[in-house]
């Protein structure tokens, strides 16, 4: 781009033809050619040289048209050896520049292509003249390397934060190290599967891996906490605890993992434009989750059996005896009991939260992608029609000098490519760590200064982080967010309606820089051909068009000439003074069946204004309106405003409109995501129904799914973010992880029910037992997600809000699933008449205490004021006389009671005489 090619130019009088009526194209093709002569047996072929070897020979007579009559074309041409007429220009730092654009082939790696080009440029620099230098102005690998470095930092920081949270809840260094090792083990194994699928480390796969840090540690925390609980509360050996603890949560971990995998697989098979981004993300997440389950069932139990010690869980002090855990357990126990006693307010509150999803969805704006500070944007200028290339270059350089003083701007490069009146100014900002201002601030400053040049119709487009798309325009990811296209059979009417649309769009607060894609102010000469007269003379329309293009435009190559080892094209063009004269153009002749005919004899020439280019769609004329979004406004808001504005135009039936570009992609992505969420919900229900062998319990677990969406939407609205592709994937991930604790609670409730514990007591015991791993997992996940992109962080914040609502929202519908049993258990506890089933009486944390020997041992320890730790494993029983009194009364009177102190046991003590 911007290069100057050499050519031979023959300027010709408009009336000139050779002696036989041939035009310049036919004459020069006959003259500048080497004809083969006769064939000789010993020396091969004989050649008659006739090709021009310099520009001055063009037009010199080389043959005779008639006997004794020379061709006078030498007097009809002005020959010059000059550069090709420039139609594009690139300048850098006020110097003329030749720009070379290198694009990778489909399927090739961007980094490999860029590094290969850099190696070749190092060799090219050595053979260039000293005055010529090669500079790389645009390098996409810089942003890729910066993104990878940032995501690597987030990966390491998230892993450390997750490990610190585990240390806070379990308070054991060995357990923390074991849980932290699950992260690199799962991630490294995921890399192997990604290599098998031929995935690269790009933005989507690295985001998937970074987000998976908070998920792959979940299964390891659940298994590790259960093993540690067996060692701490049941005083099992680490080897036995690893076996029994893992076996107890196997079903729950498998259910949580498989239900999460079936959410991401439908996303991986989405169709449309976003499939090339979502496909590797979905598979990466599915790989990481499946590997994390394998690690939690193999590596975590093995390390726990080897490195955890029985001395880590002292008999006189547990990790749950701290003041924080005591307050948390006491508060949660009271909230849980109140919610089970009053399920109606809980369910009503959950229903109200669910209904809030609809107004919040209207309040949160939607966009395809968030605006990221990539430090690259483009200024588009349309100078008045008729401006030459030199005039456009001067205007561009003046603008560059005006904008170079803005803080944070590193480089401005004006470029003129497709037509002389359209200017692109490529802008690069300084690295983000070397400037104090944001990209949005610099763009706003440029918009304010461009208001001084309204005749240039300026507009600015910011680079898209995922590259270009439909309707993007400009290549390389630069495009307008709003693209509205009017379609119809009449171009002039379309242009009038588009001007009305732009006039109304300029008053919309959600749009900036609206402009029409069609320019009807291009000066032109209209040639109105008399078709009947042309047909009588045997002149074709294509013949007239070719003659005008050859003589006026000077684009066609009529011959070549050789100079040394190089061959240069020869092009012909009428004199510049005659090109501006309509009468001179009309004197050009075209061949016909009856001889040469002047154009003005079969056509009428007149000056006018017309479009520089015509656009069609579905065999109809199309005129587009492009606009950018104002700061603080979402894509759906701007699109809806454009739809309402077009509706106010009252378009006739033969004129239609369509929204393309990012708006079309947004609508398509929204439909595909809704379908993926629906399929994922069905698959989750199927997996849970197969795991729990129940049709009701999966519904109980899935009741938490709609409650998570309002919290995520509220967080996006409160932080001023939009619901875009990143945040939508975060919400989808939120749907997958919020049900994990519900699965653990329901699974452990089923375990206790199989041991004979009533439903009410089993629900309380399961919720309190799974409280610590639940808080450990969900507190570690925001820590792991916090260093990621802001849209992911908003989802993590919303997840925290929903996490504190879910522990009391799940037990209420679970208890309501068996109201008869709950009421029966409640009456039995009130009267003390309910007898336990055979073999299940008095089951506590230490085992059955219903036998005579067990009752005598409890009575002896109570009378001796000794700790009942060896039987009931209650760490605080010997410290509270009121607790000993309750146990003694239970032994004497045979009552089933609940202990007032939740720290005494993990679930209610049931002592039967």
Q: Are strands 597-598 and 511-516 parallel, antiparallel or unpaired?
A: unpaired
Residue 723 tokens read as 């619901």
pLDDT tens digit sequence for 664-697: 888 888 888 888 888 888 998 999 898 888 888 8
Residue 288 tokens read as 């990481």
Residue 182 tokens read as 């699950």
CB 27 within 8 A of CB 18: yes
The helix-helix angle for 343-355 and 323-341 (nearest 10°) equals 90
Q: Which residue's entry shows tokens 């997600």?
A: 785
pLDDT tens digit sequence for 530-543: 888 888 888 888 88
Give counts: helices (H), strands (E), the chain.
32, 25
In the chain, which segments carry CATH 3.30.70.1440?
378-522+615-666
3-state DSSP assignment of residue 415:
strand
* Rounded Cα gap, residues 481 and 639, in angstroms: 9
pLDDT tens digit sequence for 17-47: 554 555 555 554 544 555 454 444 444 444 4
pLDDT at 834: 41
- Kindly tell me if the per-residue pLDDT of 460 is higher than 80: yes
pLDDT tens digit sequence for 89-115: 566 655 677 778 788 887 778 888 888
Mention every residue, 6+ apart, whose C-beta is less than 8 A from residue 642.
482, 484, 501, 505, 508, 511, 625, 627, 659
- Going by C-alpha positions, the residue among 861, 853, 864, 850 that lies closest to residue 909 is 850
Mention every residue, 6+ apart, whose C-beta is less than 8 A from residue 370.
721, 722, 724, 726, 727, 789, 790, 791
User: Please, which pLDDT band fits residue 870 given cuts at 50, 70 and 90?
Assistant: very low
- Kindly tell me if the per-residue pLDDT of 191 is higher than 80: yes
CATH architecture of 140-310: Up-down Bundle (1.20)
CB 594 within 8 A of CB 537: yes
Q: Are strands 522-529 and 847-848 parallel, antiparallel or unpaired?
A: unpaired
- Kindly tell me if the per-residue pLDDT of 60 is higher than 60: no
State the average pLDDT over residues 606-632: 85
* Rounded Cα gap, residues 388 and 381, in angstroms: 14
Mention every residue, 6+ apart, whose C-beta is less than 8 A from residue 148.
201, 206
Concatenated DSSP letters for 136-188?
----HHHHHHHHHHHHHHHHHHHHHHHHHHHHHHH--HHHHHHHHHHHHHHHH
Instruction: Kindly report the average pLDDT of the chain as a whole number.
Output: 74
Residue 293 tokens read as 């389950």
| CA dihedral over 457, 463, 464, 469, signed as positive or negative | positive
Q: What pTM was computed for the model?
A: 0.69
In the chain, which segments carry CATH 1.20.1640.10?
140-310, 326-368+695-832
3-state DSSP assignment of residue 432:
helix
Mention every residue, 6+ apart, whose C-beta is less than 8 A from residue 728.
669, 673
- Please report how many Cα atoms fall inside a 13 Å half-sphere around the Cα of residue 275, on the Cβ side: 9
Mention every residue, 6+ apart, whose C-beta is less than 8 A from residue 385.
421, 519, 521, 522, 523, 609, 612
Q: Which residue's entry shows tokens 């080009």?
A: 117
**From the CA atom positions of the chain, what is the Rg in Å?**
40
pLDDT at 269: 84
The better pLDDT of the pair 907, 289 is held by 289
Backbone angles phi, psi at 719, to 5 degrees: -90, 0
State the average pLDDT over residues 869-893: 42
Run of H or E residues at 97: strand 95-97
Laid out side by side, the sheet with 422-429 consists of 95-97, 89-92, 409-416, 422-429, 376-382, 459-462
* Rounded Cα gap, residues 237 and 112, in angstroms: 54
pLDDT at 776: 58
Mention every residue, 6+ apart, whose C-beta is less than 8 A from residue 881.
none
**Domain 326-368+695-832: which CATH number of 1.20.1640.10, 3.70.10.10, 3.40.190.10, 1.10.40.30:** 1.20.1640.10
State the average pLDDT over residues 479-487: 87
pLDDT at 135: 79
CATH hierarchy code of domain 378-522+615-666? 3.30.70.1440
User: Please, which pLDDT band fits residue 231 given cuts at 50, 70 and 90?
Assistant: confident
Q: What share of the chain is helix, strand, coil (3-state, %, to 5)?
A: 55, 15, 30
3-state DSSP assignment of residue 514:
strand
What is the 3 state secondary structure string of 633-693?
Answer: CCHHHHHHHHHHHHHHCCCCCCCEEEEECHHHHHHHHHHHHHHHHHHHHHHHHHHHHHHHC
CB 241 within 8 A of CB 225: no
- The Cβ of residue 157 has, within 10 Å, a number of other Cβ atoms equal to 17
Residue 898 tokens read as 């609940």
């Amino acid at each position: 781009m911007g290069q100057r090619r050499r050519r031979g130019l023959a300027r010709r009088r408009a009336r000139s033809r050779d002696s036989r009526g041939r035009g310049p194209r036919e004459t020069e093709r006959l003259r500048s050619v080497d004809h083969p002569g006769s064939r000789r047996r010993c020396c091969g072929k004989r050649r008659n040289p006739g090709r021009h070897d310099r520009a001055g020979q063009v037009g010199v007579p080389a043959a005779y048209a008639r006997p004794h009559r020379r061709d006078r074309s030498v007097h009809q041409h002005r020959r010059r050896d000059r550069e090709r007429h420039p139609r594009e220009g690139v300048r850098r730092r006020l110097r003329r520049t030749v720009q070379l654009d290198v694009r990778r082939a489909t399927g090739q790696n961007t980094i490999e292509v860029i590094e290969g080009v850099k190696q070749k440029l190092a060799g090219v620099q050595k053979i260039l003249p000293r005055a010529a230098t090669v500079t790389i102005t645009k390098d996409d690998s810089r942003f890729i390397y910066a993104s990878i470095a940032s995501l690597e930092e987030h990966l390491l920081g998230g892993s450390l934060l997750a490990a610190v949270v585990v240390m806070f809840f379990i308070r054991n260094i060995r357990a923390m190290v074991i849980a932290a090792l699950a992260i690199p083990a799962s991630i490294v194994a995921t890399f192997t599967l990604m290599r098998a699928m031929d995935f690269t480390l790009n933005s989507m796969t690295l985001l998937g891996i970074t987000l998976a840090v908070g998920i792959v540690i979940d299964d390891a925390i659940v298994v590790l906490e259960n093993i540690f609980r067996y060692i701490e509360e049941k005083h099992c050996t680490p080897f036995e605890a690893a076996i029994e603890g893992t076996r107890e949560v196997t079903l729950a971990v498998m259910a949580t993992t498989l239900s999460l995998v079936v959410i991401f697989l439908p996303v991986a098979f989405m169709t449309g434009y976003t499939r090339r981004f979502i496909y590797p993300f979905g598979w990466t997440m599915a790989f990481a989750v499946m590997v994390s389950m394998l690690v939690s069932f193999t590596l975590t139990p093995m390390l726990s059996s080897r490195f955890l010690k029985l001395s880590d869980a002292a008999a006189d002090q547990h990790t749950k005896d701290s003041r924080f855990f005591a307050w948390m357990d006491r508060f949660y126990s009271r909230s849980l009991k109140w919610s089970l006693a009053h399920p109606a307010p809980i369910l009503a509150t959950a229903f109200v939260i669910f209904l809030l999803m609809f107004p919040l969805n209207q309040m949160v704006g939607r966009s395809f992608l968030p605006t990221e500070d990539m430090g690259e944007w483009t200024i588009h200028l349309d100078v008045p029609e008729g401006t030459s290339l030199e005039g456009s270059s001067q205007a561009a350089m003046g603008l560059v000098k005006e904008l170079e003083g803005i803080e944070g701007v590193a480089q401005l490069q004006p470029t003129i490519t497709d037509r002389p009146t359209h200017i692109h100014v490529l802008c690069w900002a300084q690295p983000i760590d070397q400037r104090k201002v944001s990209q949005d601030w610099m763009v706003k400053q440029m918009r304010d200064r461009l208001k001084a040049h309204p005749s240039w119709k300026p507009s600015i487009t910011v680079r898209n982080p995922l590259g270009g798309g439909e309707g993007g325009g400009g290549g390389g990811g630069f495009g307008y967010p709003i693209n509205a296209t009017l379609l119809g059979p009449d171009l002039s009417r379309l242009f009038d309606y588009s001007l009305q649309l732009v006039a109304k769009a300029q008053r919309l607060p959600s749009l900036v820089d609206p402009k029409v894609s069609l320019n009807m102010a291009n000066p032109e000469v209209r040639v109105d051909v008399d078709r009947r007269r042309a047909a009588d003379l045997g002149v074709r329309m294509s013949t007239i068009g070719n003659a005008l293009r050859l003589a006026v435009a000077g684009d066609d190559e009529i011959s070549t000439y050789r100079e040394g080892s190089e061959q240069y094209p020869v092009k012909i063009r009428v004199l510049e003074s005659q090109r501006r004269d309509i009468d001179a153009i009309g004197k050009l002749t075209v061949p016909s069946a009856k001889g040469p005919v002047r154009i003005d004899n079969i056509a009428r020439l007149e000056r006018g204004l017309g479009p520089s280019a015509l656009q069609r769609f579905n065999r109809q004329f199309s005129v587009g309106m492009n606009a950018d979004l104002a700061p603080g406004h979402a894509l759906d808001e701007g699109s809806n405003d454009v739809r309402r504005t077009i509706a106010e135009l009252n378009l006739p039936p033969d004129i239609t409109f369509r929204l393309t570009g990012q708006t079309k992609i947004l609508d398509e992505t929204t439909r595909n995501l809704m379908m993926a969420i629906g399929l994922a919900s069905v698959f989750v229900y199927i997996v849970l129904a197969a795991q729990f062998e129940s049709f009701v319990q999966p519904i109980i677990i899935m009741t938490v799914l709609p409650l998570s969406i309002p919290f995520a939407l509220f967080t996006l609205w409160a932080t001023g973010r939009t619901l875009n592709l990143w945040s939508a994937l975060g919400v989808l991930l939120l749907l997958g992880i919020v049900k994990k604790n519900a699965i653990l609670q329901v699974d452990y409730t089923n375990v206790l029910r199989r041991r004979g514990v009533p439903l009410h007591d089993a629900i309380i015991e399961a919720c309190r037992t799974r409280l610590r791993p639940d808080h450990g997992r969900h507190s570690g996940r925001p820590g792991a997600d916090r260093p990621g992109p802001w849209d992911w962080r908003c989802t993590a914040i919303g997840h925290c809000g929903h996490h504190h609502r879910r522990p009391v929202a799940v037990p209420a519908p679970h208890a309501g699933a068996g109201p008869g049993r709950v009421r029966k258990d409640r009456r039995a506890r009130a009267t003390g008449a309910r007898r336990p089933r055979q073999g299940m009486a008095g089951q506590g944390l230490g085992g059955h205490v219903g036998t005579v020997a067990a009752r005598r041992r409890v009575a002896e320890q109570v009378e001796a004021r000794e700790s009942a730790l060896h039987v009931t494993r209650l760490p605080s029983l010997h410290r509270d006389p009121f607790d000993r009194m309750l146990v003694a009364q239970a032994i004497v009177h045979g009552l089933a009671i609940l202990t007032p102190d939740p720290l005494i046991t993990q679930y209610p003590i049931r002592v039967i005489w």
